[in-house]
Amino acid sequence: MQRFMTNLSRFMAILGGIVLTALIILVCVSVLGRTLNGFLHSEPVVAVLGDFAKTLLDAGVGPILGDFELVEAGVAFAIFAFIPFCQITGGHATVDIFTSMLPLKANRLLQMVIDIVFAGVLILIAMQLYEGMLSKMQYRETTFLLQFPVWWSYAASLVAAVVSAIVSVYIAIIRMGEFFGNRTILSIGGADH
């Protein structure tokens, strides 16, 4: 089960990375297009390039239409896609100034409670995303510029949120086993800084 959850988490992180990379490229191209558009509209460039500047502008050199709508939808998915891997590897940032002085049993109890609460919160978020998606579907809400259905981004985020919730429930169960079985199954981890 550990191998499956780790592979699922890794797959989601890679998928989130691909989406995030695509969004970065989209933003860069859009900013470049917006800059070139402004440049091609400037009087000195029009004076030098003349009809060529107009031809480029007519060809569509400019910002990507609806770039912020795509970024908004994609970043939400990417965030949820990274959570499972961060959770299963113990990669969340931790501040252990006080907990490092506690005995192992107290740290296990604290980690178990934190992971149970985190799993509960992710389940709640997934449920709310589902309700939100149904609402957006029912009212056929679309984005302003691209006119794509808003529920599409909710659905993508929901898939990633459900995987996040499943992995977090798995981790919470592991932490309960560690606490009640008085043994270490997963490292507590924490991001290295």
Output the pTM of the full model.
0.86
User: Quick check: is 186 in a domain?
Assistant: no
Cα separation of 68 and 33, whole Å? 14
By the 10 Å C-beta count (0-12 exposed, 13-18 middle, 19+ buried), 36 is classed as middle
Structural domain that includes position 50: 2-91+100-181
For the chain, what is the domain count?
1
User: Quick check: is 154 in a domain?
Assistant: yes
pLDDT tens by residue, 43-98: 998 888 888 888 888 898 899 999 999 999 999 999 999 999 999 998 888 777 88
User: Quick check: is 192 in a domain?
Assistant: no
User: Quick check: is 188 in a domain?
Assistant: no
User: Quick check: is 114 in a domain?
Assistant: yes
pLDDT tens by residue, 51-62: 888 888 889 889
